[in-house]
Structure 1
Amino acid sequence: MKIERSIGALFLFAALAQSCKDDVETTETPVNNEVKIENFSKEPAFVYGMPGFENLNITTLISSSDVLSQSPNFVFAGQPDGMGIMKDPNSNGYLMITNHEITQSVSRVYLDKTFKPVKGEYILNGIGGMTRLCSATLATQKEHGFDAFLTAGESGEESMVHALNPLAPVSQASDKTRVKPALGKASMENAVPLPKDISGGKTYIMIGEDQSYSTSHQSAGQLLMYVSNTQGDLDNGKLYSLKRTNNNYTETDMVKGSQYDVEFVEISNAKNLTGAQINQKNMDLNAIRFSRVEDVDYRKGAGKGREIYFTATGESSDGVNPKPGLTMWGRVYKLVLNENNMLAGKLEVVAEGDSNPGNNLINPDNLCVTENYVYIQEDGDSYYSAANHDSYIWQLNIGTKQYKPWLNMKHNRNDAAWQTAYNQSGNLTKLGSWEFGAMIDISDIIGVPNTFAVNIHSHTWQKDAFKNADGAGVNTNKEGGQIVIIRNVQK
């Protein structure tokens, strides 16, 4: 069976949406009795449930220190961020495709039928990756109408989106040609295709620009959308940016509790423009200047994919004061596209940290949206002086718009043995020392209800053995990372 043949006929995904229940379920019997949800890593879980969520079942899937039986020299690199999990078409197991932000690489880990990691390799290394790779989306024929692992570059305004075949041979790891200029050039966080049941045979891809405001980059960050009239076409579509219909581009002129009319306007000839030229186009078009648009996700469930959520992580001029017109502590936005015109819609703020600095949201980054909830994952690297808690994942109830802390990092600052094991850099004393990567629903893929994977950037856990994990020789970072599996997650 040739690995390079079309993967459309090979993907064996179950539907990514299932009926939701508002109550945490603790007694469900796994549908797939071969899958074992247990601690496969030798490291303890780096997270724990917050008050009210004590019956989350948390186990470790993989950590950077683990040795996999079929590839003993493989190192699971640090900063695991965007990811996707699928059935392995060549076995009765699974494949896990993961971005490693700091090493600019993408790993492929093989899991057996029990969901135990047994082998690892890199399908994109730091040479082919070229830029830091943050969030990512595994597009599937079943959900989106085409197959690709879309991973966005985030190292300045000339970065691009890679479209990888998850089954690509490792011989292509250094290949730099798998980028898609038609999706634009920007410091991008994620490229998220909308589901095919609302796309009408077209391709819609939402892209977040994780860009701060500066005198050399006055357009700050945009919410972009790529549109092609052909499903799965990543080369011949048009690129648009989001603006208010009244031409007001100032982020903080929008407040929680109100809705705003917005539209996507075309960035003409984007495929052939530089990132700097695209930035100037955005200013000319009065595109909304968000403070670092990071992750984007859409509401799950039949016909609900036009309801889109995205973060503005926030930025400060000095760690104490905001920049004029921009959120400092961060926001989560809800965008609902018109059913008959997906280039227009309503925008509102559904969560924000500026009204209660340091106690509410602190720099929201990644998002995971289910049918009834938005899971908001904080980015712990701000070190704002008024920050009063570590990086949380918050659970936002879509119906009530109320949100509360759901998951926290296990820093164990008063545990000497923990500090020796996981604080080689000495920075673990700071609040928000670690941050979250992707959170994805894997329930229907593995046949175990209400089950999610969560990635962790354990920045202070550093060992020489973690250096050059992808073998490209272009990065000396020695951070470790971890992926945990969480059961009993409300959907």
Structure 2
Amino acid sequence: MNNYYKFACVGLGLLSFMSCNDDDGSNNEPKNEVVLQSHSQSPVLLKLTPEFSDVNIYNLLTSEDQLANTPNFVYGSMADGAGLIKNADDTFTLINNIEADYSIARITLDETFKPVGGEYILNAQATASTAQCSGSLITPEEHGFGPLYLSGGEWGGSSNGVFLTDPFKSTGGASTAQMLTAMGQWSTENAVAIGKDAYPGKTVVFIGDDHSDNTVPSGQLGMYVGNQGDLEGGSLYGLKVTDSNVNFEMDMVEGQSYAMEFVELEETQLDLLDAEAKNKGVMGFSRLEDIDWRRGSADNNREIYFCVTGRSKPDLEGKGTFYGRVYKVTMNPNDPTGAGTITCVLDGDKLSGKAKSFHSPDNIVVTENYAYIQEDPNGYYDTADKTHYARLYQYNLNTGALKVVLECDQETAEGLGYGSASSAWEITGMIDISETVGKDDTFLVITQNHGWENDGFTDSMANASSTSNEGSMLYIIEGLDR
């Protein structure tokens, strides 16, 4: 175990720590020096809905900021998936994918939660210029081993699949990557290991395949199963809907559950894997994006949620979602490969339904009681309900209620010189950091600010020949229910 950190209590998908020596002298509780506030020179460009007016938003770090300890570090283009660790000295480490620079950054925050330094631990050379999209931490508390960081190699280069990175690796190894070949060469949006209590003695990892076929929905839900802590010697599976009435994802109706199981796959190479999955009846979705699992009991941990962002193409009509869906997979309680169910819980193609305003849901984070769904609009402004900037939604897992939390404030942004209102931003990378920072109902969330451009928005240590120059913003959201 790395001596740089130590463990104490369980976090929600993150590492959470307590120091026994941070007593203020009055009691045995550690002193928490975290202060939630803005540290960026950039303004807050997210607009809350009236129902969430008591929520606070702080701009923590953006591509135009300079950090005190590493003034040459640039928070690069299209930041995405992330994970947060609290260190033994009460500082924090943020691991953050920088999608358009094909890299992974490590950002240090001091004990007050102020960003003070940054560096790149995986660069474009290591990834073969393959975008690092969503990411997730594996932790001793939640998974029984780690810490390790998983990220999805999706587009751009040749390294499609799942990357494994030590959060504390030396920057001297930034040009070397480790890929988990046993998990397959999907067009990987994310890879997420569920909690160790779901299947004691096993490590179960779900992989989202953002395959964007224009004729046949081809994004598949992969699953890797190995012994606990084994990420390379296990077996690979794909989700198959066994209901005879379901041939395509659009045959599944919102709110109705369908029988499913996981079938074993032998191939791992991108094209061969896709062909085998289709031959064995693995369900194809229209761009399967981010994945997360419900916190709480072991039964909860076996609830898997994922976003399908959609693709509006004539040949996909009746087969794949155009505007996006959110699915729930309820797994077999005894065997991860056994019979379970799949349910479309939110359907953006149902134009009179509760998700009628969905415009390409992309990323998701799940707590014990809520799922927070983030949009990456694909430009389908076909109805008044869908004509809006990227939104963050709150979905109540207990009641089914869906609410809009906030929307990107791009008109204000354009007026202040932060890009164009005509280039829709993406909301992404949201993680629950409540346990880690010791502040209830606290999250990080990222915006990819398409159209906000500057030649200095890429760090040469990440990508020496980047063609992307769009900035990113990292926010704290305080006061969202978990």
* TM-score, normalization by structure 1: 0.89
2:251 and 2:31 map into 1 onto residues whose CA distance is 50
In terms of mean alpha carbon deviation, does 77-86 or 468-477 score higher?
Answer: 468-477
Q: Is the 8 A contact 2:58 2:475 kept in 1?
A: yes
SS in 1 for 2:197: helix
Between the aligned partners of 2:247 and 2:276, the Cα distance in structure 1 is 13
Amino acid aligned to 1:170: T
1:354 equivalent in alignment to 2:349: yes
State the alpha-carbon separation in 2 of the partners of residues 69 and 158 from structure 1: 34
Q: Which of 355, 371, 375 pairs up with 2:372?
A: 375
Aligned to 1:474: 465
Q: Show structure 1 runs of 4+ deviating over 2 A.
A: 6-14, 30-33, 246-249, 321-324, 380-387, 467-472
Checking the alignment, whether the CA contact within 8 Å between 1:329 and 1:363 is kept in structure 2 is: yes
Q: Which residue of 1 aligns with 2:109?
A: 111
- Cα deviation, 1:282-329, whole Å, max 9, x if unaligned, reads 1111111111110000111132110110111100117xx853411000
| Equivalent residue letter for 2:399 | T
Name the SS of the counterpart of 1:279 in structure 2.
Answer: helix
Tell me the distance in 1 between the aligned counterparts of 2:283 and 2:159: 20
* 2: CA distance, partners of 1:60 / 1:469: 24
Aligned pair partner of 1:330 in 320, 324, 327: 324
In structure 1, the residue matched to 2:453 is 462
Q: Which amino acid aligns with 1:429?
A: S
Name 1:16's counterpart in structure 2.
11
Matched-pair contact (CA < 8 Å) for 2:39–2:59: yes
Do structure 1's residue 232 and structure 2's residue 232 form an aligned pair?
A: no
Amino acid of the structure 2 residue aligned with 1:151: S
How many percent of aligned residue pairs carry the same amino acid?
Answer: 37
Question: SS of the counterpart of 1:412?
Answer: helix
> Is structure 2 residue 418 aligned with structure 1 residue 422?
yes
1:41 counterpart residue number: 40
1:255 counterpart residue number = 253
Q: Residue in 1 aligned with 2:190?
A: 190
Following superposition, the deviation at residue 383 of structure 1 comes to 4.3
Q: Distance in 1 between the 2:3 and 2:380 partners?
A: 44
Structure 1 residues 97 and 354: CA distance shift in structure 2, 3 A: same
Distance 1:8 1:312 in 2: 40
What's the TM-score, normalizing by structure 2? 0.90
- 2:64 and 2:323 map into 1 onto residues whose CA distance is 34
Contact 1:158 1:187 in 2 (8 A): no
The structure-2 alpha-carbon separation of the partners of 1:485 and 1:150, relative to structure 1 and needing over 3 Å to count, comes to same
121-130 or 161-170, larger mean C-alpha shift: 121-130
1:361 is paired with a residue whose SS is coil
Give 1:45 shift. 1.4
Shift of 1:219: 6.0
In structure 2, C-alpha distance between the alignment counterparts of 1:378 and 1:17, rounded to whole Å: 22
In structure 2, C-alpha distance between the alignment counterparts of 1:278 and 1:241, rounded to whole Å: 10
Contact 1:249-1:289 at 8 Å conserved across structures: no
Q: Which 5+ residue runs of structure 2 have no aligned equivalent?
A: 14-28
Report SS of the residue matched to 2:38.
Answer: coil
Compared CA separation, residues 470 and 381, structure 1 to 2 (3 A): farther
**8 Å Cα contact 1:292/1:312 also seen in 2:** yes
Say yes or no: does 1:306 pair with 2:302.
Answer: yes
Query: Which whole-Å CA distance do the structure 1 matches of 2:163 and 2:193 have between them?
Result: 13
Q: How many residues align?
A: 457
Match of 2:292 in 1: 297
C-alpha spacing 1:472/1:390, structure 2 compared with 1 (3 Å)? closer
Q: Which residue is 1:102 aligned to? A: 100
Aligned alpha-carbon RMSD (Å): 2.2
1:352 is displaced (CA, Å) by 1.2
Say whether residues 1:165 and 2:160 are aligned partners.
Answer: no
How far the C-alpha of 1:470 sits from its partner, in A, is 3.5
| Aligned-partner SS, 1:48 | strand
User: 2:331 is matched by which residue type in structure 1?
Assistant: L
Is the contact between residue 62 and residue 471 of structure 2 (CA under 8 Å) also seen in structure 1? yes
Q: State the shift of 1:13 in Å.
A: 5.9
**Distance of 1:226 and 1:276 partners within structure 2:** 18
Q: Which residue of 1 aligns with 2:26?
A: none
How far did residue 31 of structure 1 move? 8.4
Query: CA offset at residue 477 of structure 1?
Result: 0.9
Quick one: distance in 1 between partners of 2:139 and 2:214?
Answer: 37
Which residue identity is paired with 1:446? V
Alpha-carbon distance in 1 for matches of 2:330, 2:3: 30
Query: Could you say if the C-alpha distance between residues 285 and 468 of structure 1 is closer, same or farther in structure 2, counting changes exceeding 3 Å?
Result: same
The separation in 2 between residues aligned to 1:234 and 1:383, in whole angstroms, is 39
Work out whether residues 101 and 462 of structure 2, in 8 Å CA contact, stay in contact via their aligned partners in 1.
no
What is the aligned partner in structure 2 of residue 490 from structure 1? 481
Distance apart, 1:385 and its partner CA: 4.3
Structure 1 residue 438, shift from structure 2 partner: 1.0
Q: How far has the Cα of 1:133 moved from its partner?
A: 1.0
In the other structure, the counterpart of 2:73 is 74
Q: Cα deviation per residue 1:45-89 (whole Å; 9 max; x = unaligned)?
A: 121211200010111111111111100000011211100000124
Q: CA deviation at 1:113?
A: 0.4
Distance 1:290 1:32, change over 3 A: farther
Q: Deviation per CA, 1:171-207, whole angstroms, max 9, x where unpaired?
A: 111113x111001001011100010111211110011
**Counterpart for residue 341 of structure 1:** 335
Aligned equivalents of 1:58, 1:449: Cα separation in 2? 14
2:443 corresponds to: 452
Q: Give 1:179's aligned residue.
A: 179
